[in-house]
Amino acid sequence: MAANLNGTFDITAIALKLIEITNGTVFLSILIFIVVTGYVLSLLLKSGIITNFIKYSEHRRRQRNKQIAEQEKLLTDEFLKEYSNELEYHIKASKLSNYLNVKNKDLDLLTYILSCRNKERAVRLYKIGQDYLDKDEAAGIYRLQPKYTEKRVKIHFWVGTTLYGLINLFGASPFIYLNYFKFKYRHETFTIPDSLYISILIFFIAFFVVSLLVLWKSMRPTAAKNFLEMEKICKDKSETDALDEAA
């Protein structure tokens, strides 16, 4: 039975039914994939690789803080007094770069990210779309590269999204055709080898990975555009001041 009087599901019966519907191969392939993935993750946790990576990240952050502290000491050095403005710039850039976890030490960029209402999202968008941004040195601001107009960004996104769907459809086509023929010739006796199901699954996974790469590439100009349109803290402050004055 699928359910008993207490309203609880019989998981075993459901699993057996699913195995029967899919000839067992697809279901078992997915189950094996999940088990193997879980096993690999458990090995990584037991081996300490993940823990060591976290420790290494913390160590790098401490090293950056140490470098910043050493840079601050240079401000009190009489021999470097004439470079105090330059040193202050680099110290500010280092501190903001460390705080925001952004490798770029351009103070104009870091100040812009800091001015965003949601700085975490701004950092994510910048890291995705940074290759599509150019800096206007005269104005000290970042813009989309000239060739990426608003229209082109939209086209880029929709082409990528369409290709994502088509690639996945193509990857799933062998499975669709196989089930179509199974349904069409359901009254005839024939067997489909398990190896064919496994090949179809591998085929789909390969095309799914390719589709993700295509979608990722198409989203990057949009991420750059959204980064430049982030809501600013100063905007909220000016609106609040305007409301206070009106009151």
| Residue 82: CB atoms within 10 Å | 8
| Residue 167: CB atoms within 10 Å | 19
The total number of residues written for the chain in this structure: 247
pLDDT at 78: 74
pTM of the model: 0.64
Are the beta carbons of 111 and 96 closer than 8 angstroms?
A: yes
CA distance linking residue 77 with residue 67, whole number of Å: 16
pLDDT at 143: 93
| Residue 215: CB atoms within 10 Å | 17
Domains of the chain by residue range: 37-76+83-103
136: phi then psi, degrees, rounded to nearest 5: -85, 100
pLDDT at 99: 87
Are the beta carbons of 110 and 208 closer than 8 angstroms?
A: no
Residues of the chain short of pLDDT 70, as ranges, are 1-33, 36, 39-40, 43-53, 55-57, 59, 187-190, 192, 234-247
pLDDT at 19: 47
pLDDT at 13: 55
pLDDT at 246: 39
pLDDT at 242: 37
pLDDT at 6: 46
Structure tokens at 110: 């870091």
Are the beta carbons of 142 and 136 closer than 8 angstroms?
A: yes
Distances (CA, A) of 69 to 8, 82, 130, 177, 234: 61, 20, 29, 65, 30
pLDDT at 76: 73
pLDDT at 183: 76
pLDDT at 62: 75
